[in-house]
Structure 1
């Protein structure tokens, strides 16, 4: 009897390598962001795309708040097109970071999503910049 895991065969190794390598060009995780911050190697713009209220209740240290709806060419004119944006939202249940990444890419900026968002940050045991239990998405 075949398990549910093997019911659909795994991709050949070469295809899996390409797939998982490509994913890393689109995303980073909370641990990598934290480690970069701790090492003083912050060569990216960390953007919390939730609404201002959620941001004020607690956000990743070093993040700026640009709600997704405000990601416009005019609003980003001070950022060179070489600026790498790392966007996040409330967590895996929120697609605000994905929507923001689409907007940034369409505007010609390199962008990665910090997978896990605020939920992932807290799951890793990292502190937010302000104390709060509310991390909802008002994207």
Structure 2
């Protein structure tokens, strides 16, 4: 039984490839996040993992969790953002930079989603409006009489 577990682990390692230590710096954050990934992991999975680690550590500024709202750069490769479908180990680099997409690209994405029949309703926007309404209602300068 012990031999079969070891063989299974070896097979999984061979399929996924070698493990590498990745360092992801966030624009505007204090320092990079480091974690271990497989060489065969896609850039989209690495971005997702980096965002989860960032949120788990409670870092500032607060970022979203949708990996489509971010651009992933490798300073050693060039100024272009990496494709989310590339294998992270194919680049030969270990240090990366994660930035939020410009607002124009986010708006363009929302318009495309609305055209495709998806809802473009933002939960976070609704929370902001309800909080704002509550704030104004709570602190209004109305004087009540008995």
Structure possessing the higher radius of gyration over alpha carbons? 2
Larger relative contact order (Cα-Cα within 8 Å, sequence gap ≥ 6)? 1
| Structure with the higher helix share, 1 or 2 | 2
- Could you state the TM-score of these two structures normalised by the residue count of structure 2? 0.24
